[in-house]
């Protein structure tokens, strides 16, 4: 793994990629006021116990950290606990059934070829801009029912919300905190207003799309509030493309760094899904997620008090040698490979089947069209600066 660090200039904050982590699996960080979980068994336990480790992290954020009335997470399925979570998840689960996802394969393949043909006409391929970003965003925009042609807007908002070089801290000075919040609120409000307009239009003129399904859905006999519809749509639009964008870029990175594995995958395309799973483990896209404790709990040999914010470092857990032998190796034949890149339990990523399909189809086509599939040494790989996201924001192919 050291070779990858040197080859691609891995940022220091991706500590889990810079060798096997030493130290306890759970520890308190006095600088941020949060508990960090790095071990696989501990992370696995947290994700399977939503009663103790709540997804509602806002409940433990000190009052005043977020301006009241400026920011709402109502309807954010990633922030909701049972039983409300199960009711909301059912609203969109039918949009991601195995059959619905499988039926998208021809469209995904056609889009991949169209995007690669367009890049070829321009003379070179920058993977993120030319394929890894537009492919999944077009697919999710079509499912949701918003214009795929607006994807430049979606990217602007996603970059503003996720690709900032910032590390959250409960102890952050008020001036810095307010600056961070204001930098986020602008694009957040723009995106909310954009989706609210589309939701309003669907109430007047329903269509056969996911946004119409949301505005017409009922939970316990009542329609969803407008803010909940909008926030639900935000989750689907953002999470629906960002994971695949990172997954595809990271898998290409792994195949470039381990050419002997690339040749095996190229010769036997049945290995493509396994290569994707191993890249998800090694370069976990959403490398961390938050939980809040509802009671005092013992974990990893320490006691975490109630009402504390816990950061679960999936990127580190997926490289825990207690679970994965030789964790720094890229081994597509690894079996079993029970990584936590898509979460676990009730919050297991709803769009995981779609992300896997998009990744498989696109990677198969890339292997057909690029031999070898390798990065351009004259255009260094650049990574997303956000500490909790492992992915490239620029990757040119030679």
Confidence of residue 255 (pLDDT cuts 50, 70, 90): very high
Helix (H) or strand (E) holding 222, with range, is strand 222-223
Contact call for residues 214 and 233 (beta carbons, < 8 A): yes
Domain limits, the chain: 2-397
**CA 385/CA 165 separation, integer angstroms:** 5
User: How confident is the prediction for the chain on average, in pLDDT?
Assistant: 88
Crossing angle of helices 352-369 and 226-257, rounded to 10°: 40
Contact call for residues 54 and 292 (beta carbons, < 8 A): yes
| Closest of 81, 58, 59, 47 to residue 299, by C-alpha | 47
Percent helix, percent strand, percent coil in the chain, to nearest 5? 55, 10, 35
Confidence of residue 366 (pLDDT cuts 50, 70, 90): very high
* Whole-Å CA distances, 97 to 89, 102, 107, 356: 12, 8, 16, 13
User: Cα-flanking dihedrals φ and ψ of residue 386, to 5°?
Assistant: -70, 125
What pLDDT was estimated at residue 106? 96
Task: Looking at the structure, give the CATH architecture of the domain made up of residues 2-397.
Answer: Orthogonal Bundle (1.10)
3-class SS letters over 148-215: HHHHHHHHHHHHHHHCCCCCCCCCCCHHHHHHHHHHHHHHHHHHHHHHHHHHHHHHHCCCCCHHHHHH
What pLDDT was estimated at residue 172? 61
**Given a cut of 60, is residue 177 above it in pLDDT?**
no
* Whole-Å CA distances, 289 to 39, 129, 262, 382, 389: 14, 26, 31, 23, 10
| Closest of 247, 194, 228 to residue 74, by C-alpha | 228
- The mean per-residue pLDDT over the stretch 207-227 comes to 85
Name the least confident of 46-55, 223-232, 387-396: 223-232
**Given a cut of 70, is residue 381 above it in pLDDT?**
yes
- The mean per-residue pLDDT over the stretch 256-278 comes to 96
**CA 319/CA 15 separation, integer angstroms:** 11
**Given a cut of 70, is residue 175 above it in pLDDT?**
no
User: Cα-flanking dihedrals φ and ψ of residue 6, to 5°?
Assistant: -75, -40
- The mean per-residue pLDDT over the stretch 49-74 comes to 77
Coil, strand or helix at 339: coil
Is pLDDT larger for residue 176 or for residue 387? 387
- Model pLDDT for residues 85-118, shown as the tens digit of each residue: 888 888 778 777 888 889 999 999 999 999 999 9
What pLDDT was estimated at residue 180? 60
Tell me the CB-side half-sphere exposure of residue 338, using CA atoms within 13 A.
11
What pLDDT was estimated at residue 32? 87
**Given a cut of 70, is residue 277 above it in pLDDT?**
yes
Is pLDDT larger for residue 375 or for residue 187? 375
User: Cα-flanking dihedrals φ and ψ of residue 342, to 5°?
Assistant: -100, 15
What pLDDT was estimated at residue 246? 94
- The mean per-residue pLDDT over the stretch 274-296 comes to 96
- Model pLDDT for residues 143-170, shown as the tens digit of each residue: 999 998 898 888 888 877 776 555 556 6
What pLDDT was estimated at residue 75? 61
**Given a cut of 70, is residue 207 above it in pLDDT?**
yes
pLDDT-above-70 percentage for the chain: 90
């Amino acid at each position: 793994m050291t070779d990858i660090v040197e080859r691609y200039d891995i940022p220091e904050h991706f500590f889990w990629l810079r060798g096997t982590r030493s130290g306890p699996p759970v520890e308190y960080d006095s600088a941020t006021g949060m508990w960090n979980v790095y071990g696989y068994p501990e992370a696995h336990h947290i994700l399977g116990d939503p009663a103790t480790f709540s997804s509602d992290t806002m409940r433990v954020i000190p009052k005043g950290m977020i301006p009241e009335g400026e920011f709402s997470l109502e309807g954010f399925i990633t922030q909701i606990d049972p039983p409300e979570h199960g009711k909301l998840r059912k609203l969109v689960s039918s949009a991601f059934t195995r059959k619905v996802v499988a039926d998208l394969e021809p469209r995904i393949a056609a889009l991949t070829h169209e995007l690669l043909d367009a890049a070829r006409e321009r003379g070179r391929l920058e993977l993120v801009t030319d394929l890894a970003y537009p492919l999944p965003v077009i697919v999710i925009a079509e499912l949701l029912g918003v214009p795929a042609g607006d994807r430049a807007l979606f990217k602007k908002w996603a970059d503003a919300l996720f690709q900032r070089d910032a590390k959250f801290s409960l102890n952050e000075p008020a001036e810095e905190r307010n600056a961070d919040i204001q930098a986020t609120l602008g694009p957040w409000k723009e995106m909310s207003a954009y989706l609210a307009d589309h939701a309003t239009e669907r109430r007047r003129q329903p269509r056969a799309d996911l946004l119409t399904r949301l505005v017409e859905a009922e939970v316990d006999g009542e329609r969803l509030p407008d803010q909940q519809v909008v926030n639900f749509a935000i989750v689907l639009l953002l999470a629906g493309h960002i994971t695949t964008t990172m997954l595809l870029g990271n898998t290409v990175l792994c195949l470039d760094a381990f050419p002997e594995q690339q040749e095996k995958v190229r010769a036997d395309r049945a290995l493509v899904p396994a290569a994707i799973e191993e890249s998800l483990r090694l370069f976990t896209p959403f490398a961390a997620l938050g939980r809040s404790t509802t009671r005092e709990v013992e974990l990893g040999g320490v006691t975490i008090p109630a009402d504390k914010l816990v950061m679960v470092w999936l990127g580190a857990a997926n490289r825990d040698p207690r679970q994965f032998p030789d964790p720094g190796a890229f081994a597509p034949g690894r079996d079993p490979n029970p990584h936590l890149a898509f979460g676990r339990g009730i919050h297991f990523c709803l769009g995981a089947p779609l992300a896997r399909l998009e990744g498989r189809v696109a990677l198969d086509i890339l292997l057909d069209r690029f031999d070898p599939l390798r990065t351009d040494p004259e255009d260094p790989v650049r990574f997303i600066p956000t500490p909790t996201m492992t992915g490239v924001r620029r990757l040119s192919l030679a």
